[in-house]
A and B are shown apart, each in its own frame.
Chain A
């Protein structure tokens, strides 16, 4: 696994101005991401895509906590995204919960899902961890699929519509004002990014790093490795659950494919493309992936050919991902 390249210490001080800028960004990484995301809708081809970038950026960020920082590959993160989306949607559609508490329900449910899955899977390692998480995520898929009365089964859950959001001073029409919707979504994302950064900078983050570097040494130092891994898994699930919850509100529907293992694969691809184990990487990966896919889809129906080729090129020549390679190049 790569080291977190954008830690301040990792960026070697060089005479280059660019490196100085990167250092500045790395020091204020939360502010940097948020400022960028505030401008982003003006750069994106359309607002619904910009919102998707927020959602999938958050998803990849959460996934990266396990993949990049803990150093284990999970194929089960679709379950957290899906659980978040479905719990939010079901709370709204079937129990009349207002959207904001419903998001909270979604995040909690995905955290619970992660707690259960994590408790079962965390002892396995390597490829077996990937396979156990895949199998458990498939179980979540079938459970929700067969809760047809609540989830809509194959048809998905429809009618998760938030029409207006009233702030007292201003009202956002979510159906007609995608820009307003974007900034509401950004508010949630910004809080999540801030929390994510705080977790990494906390003593807990240090233990995480110690485990990735050398699990046995960390254990010898007296850290409870299993517990730390489990907590990380649950935290990761919470972030992915928030992404799912926001997605339910963004699209007004919860499709069953959110629980498919392809959704887990998407997180892996985005994290890899952007640079796993880097703070900005997953977001950049999600952005690059979605915008590239969108652009290629409009040009050709054979977008998978390009997607696959780009993927192979990255694995062969840029294993650090976009952001990781950039940092590496800067700090040479």
Chain B
């Protein structure tokens, strides 16, 4: 089956190349006038499809992803591309729906002839895009968090996961928080894969420190009112409350837990603490909350590549710093283009091999893709949300309290994921 597929693929690529080269040259010509001669000489640009939820509740994060991915493409092109061959980013709106994303991914592959796909901002959407891409032999670099995509069931040699997974994020946060607090721990878990994955990460980290789980309360995804879940947690009198939910669920549950006066009685911990969400939710709800992130602009004091990334972004965006999900977009596409340069071709298998051997430091320190599951091994930053009074300006929302350095020990073992 697989053998067969490889054969058909090669033929379509060549047909596509012939059909598209003229039109594609024209596109590059239209978008960047400076590459006129080079583009004509090299023909077909390197096309990267980028489905992200531009509309829908996480639209601002998605726009950040697209903006930073475009930055990576522009930098690649400014540096001369791959032997003069330019890259092009094709952004599509997946509306945060996996059906729409699957359709868009098909459009990008069949119509636009993209060589690679990156993007997405939801566990379910990335799994849908991954299905479309791996069936068609198109390398896909996911920049959305998920444990499932590492597992053998969803994995293929074309699947790469640039974002952190909830296991490593929750684990790192747990390893920071549990030794510093008392041992009674409660969980508020969004009842879907991502929520359970975070809870698992916390518990695994907690075993080491002998935590006692005193309450485990599940809530349906996208719950608006948490009041009915909170009394149970209060009654259990925990020292630490782990919020295993994401985005607006996290914001709503934090807002309401703050109203319930729970912050005075326990330490609030949230694995994926988002920069945009914190700014939209306000200092009150978030102050004192500890969480994890792939990137916060404040790490620029110690990480040189972060400084460079921030400065480049600030120059383009009136001095405002980039966000965590923006950084994923930058790294996902940037890493892919590095691999393309190393491979010297857009051939899928060659680029997959190059990605597997890639060592890169684009914005946060050294990273690489683990062989068995193509998970990006990377540092995790632990941050604490500031009080309104401690903020120097509107962007100054977190303190970086700890860095857990890149290490495969953070991840579940290859055997556990089903990779033989």
Contact = CB atoms under 8 A, between A and B. Distances in A.
Contacts of A46: 107, 110-111
A153 B135 CA distance: 22
A49 B107 CA distance: 8
A48 B124 contact: no
Contact of B154 (A49, A158, A175, A301): A158
Given A49-B103, A163-B5, A301-B59, A255 B98 contact: yes
A155 B135 contact: no
A279 interface: no
Contacts of A154: 123-124, 192-194, 221
B123 A155 contact: yes
Nearest to B112: A46
B192 A301 contact: no
A1 B136 CA distance: 47
Interface string B56-69: 00010000000000
A252 B135 contact: yes
A158 B159 CA distance: 14
B137 to A, nearest CB: 9
Interface string B119-133: 000011001101110
Interface in B11-61: 12, 54-55, 59
A301 B81 CA distance: 30
A159 B192 contact: no
A301 B55 contact: yes
Interface in A145-192: 153-156, 158-159, 161, 163, 173, 175-176, 178
Contacts of B102: 251-253, 255
A156 B136 contact: no
B127 A156 contact: yes
B99 interface: yes
Contacts of A158: 127-128, 130-131, 154
B204 to A, nearest CB: 21
B98 A175 contact: no
A108 interface: no
A304 B57 CA distance: 13
Contacts of B127: 155-156, 158, 253
Nearest to A155: B124
A303 interface: yes
B228 interface: no
Q: Which of B55, B98, B107, B131 has the most CB of A within 10 A?
A: B98
| Interface residue range, chain B | 20 to 34
B50 to A, nearest CB: 14
B98 A257 contact: yes
Contacts of B135: 161, 163, 175, 252
B54 A175 contact: no
A6 interface: no
B193 A252 contact: no
Interface in A23-51: 45-49
A176 B99 contact: no
A224 interface: no
Given A47-B110, A156-B98, A251-B99, A175 B136 contact: yes
B1 interface: yes
B128 A301 contact: no
B54 A301 contact: yes
A255 B107 contact: no
A258 interface: yes
B124 A176 contact: no
Interface in A52-82: 52
A178 B124 contact: no
A253 B135 CA distance: 12
A65 to B, nearest CB: 23
Contact of A252 (B123, B124, B132): B132
A276 interface: no
Contacts of A161: 131, 135
A252 B221 CA distance: 24
A145 B234 CA distance: 29
Contact of A257 (B54, B55, B97, B111): B97
Contacts of A302: 55
A114 interface: no
A255 B110 contact: no
B100 to A, nearest CB: 8
A201 B342 CA distance: 66
A297 interface: yes
Contacts of A252: 102, 131-132, 135
B368 to A, nearest CB: 27
A178 B110 contact: yes
Interface string B209-249: 00000000000010000000000000000000000000000
A48 B99 contact: no
Contacts of A178: 106, 110
A133 B93 CA distance: 31
Given A46-B110, A48-B106, A303-B55, A159 B93 contact: no
B124 A255 contact: yes
Contacts of B99: 247, 251, 253, 255, 257-258
Given A46-B107, A303-B55, 18 more contacts: A45-B111, A48-B106, A48-B110, A49-B103, A154-B192, A154-B193, A155-B123, A156-B127, A176-B9, A251-B132, A253-B102, A255-B98, A255-B124, A257-B99, A297-B93, A301-B54, A301-B55, A301-B59
Please name the 10 residue pairs, one residue from A and one from B, whose CB atoms are nearest each other, closest first: A154-B192, A255-B98, A48-B106, A251-B102, A46-B111, A255-B99, A253-B128, A158-B131, A155-B124, A301-B54
22 contacts: A46-B110, A48-B106, A48-B111, A153-B193, A154-B221, A156-B128, A158-B127, A159-B131, A163-B135, A176-B8, A176-B9, A176-B12, A178-B106, A178-B110, A251-B99, A252-B135, A253-B102, A253-B128, A255-B99, A257-B97, A302-B55, A303-B55
Interface of A: 45-49, 52, 153-156, 158-159, 161, 163, 173, 175-176, 178, 247, 251-253, 255-258, 297, 301-304
